[in-house]
Amino acid sequence: MHSILTKLKIQFGESIRSIYTTSKQLYPLIPIVVEQSGRGERAYDIYSRLLKERIICLMGPVRGVITAGLGIYDTMQYVTPPIATWCVGQACSMASLLLASGTHGMRHSLPNSRIMVHQPSGGVQGQASDILIHAEEILKLKKNVNRLYVKHTGQSAEDIEKMMERDKFLSPEDAKRYGLIDRVLEHPIIADMKKDDKNQDESPVGNQLRG
């Protein structure tokens, strides 16, 4: 089935531009952004446009299947925009890896959140040969996951192996020390930047630089 394109005219300042959309109407509460491209002008709703520039992932108290988590991880590494990750409440198991795999400098946690890391776990039943196959597979997954933690935290393989041996709960400050996050957020980043600028202006060094 082919989508039917509808031509719409939108006024931008003093000019009127024509765009094509699959929707018969533009929802008035959703801003539209027009972008110049090699094929002409393209219109995006603001949400789709933001996905081209930035992605924010909020990590909540959810655990999941390791292979599903690795699928999300691969997607995060594949896309072009920088990805900010936030731990809100708790990031356990695969969620802690996704938290650590955000863009460096953009991995955050709220101050009272908890981060938990551990080795893969699971269970299987059946014939001895099948159980052995699954045991070998989960050991391969363990090795791969540890390698990814090493990549994103900067810790040694030995330290990661030791940390992942049992359930290990971390405070945001501990997670920062281990390299899982970059910053503990108690206030909006912009507010902190303004505060830092104000402190610099009031410092003797800042006054000398301005003088």
- pTM value surpassing 0.95: no
The answer to whether 93 is a known catalytic residue is yes
Per-residue pLDDT band for 168 (boundaries 50, 70, 90) equals very high
Per-residue pLDDT band for 39 (boundaries 50, 70, 90) equals low
**Which of 112, 89, 87 minimizes the C-alpha distance to 180?**
87
Q: What is the pLDDT of residue 138?
A: 94
List 15, 37, 48, 118, catalytic entry: 118
Q: What is the pLDDT of residue 211?
A: 43
Q: What is the pLDDT of residue 14?
A: 59
The domain locations on the chain are 6-51, 54-184
Q: What is the pLDDT of residue 58?
A: 79
Work out the burial of residue 181: count CB atoms within 10 Å of its CB; fewer than 13 is exposed, 13-18 middle, 19 or more buried.
buried
The answer to whether 118 is a known catalytic residue is yes
List 2, 93, 129, 156, catalytic entry: 93
Q: Which fold has domain 54-184?
A: 2-enoyl-CoA Hydratase; Chain A, domain 1 (3.90.226)
Check: CB of residue 89 under 8 Å from CB of residue 167.
Answer: no
Q: What are the pLDDT digits (tens) for 98-126?
A: 999 999 999 999 999 999 999 998 888 99
Q: What is the pLDDT of residue 210?
A: 43
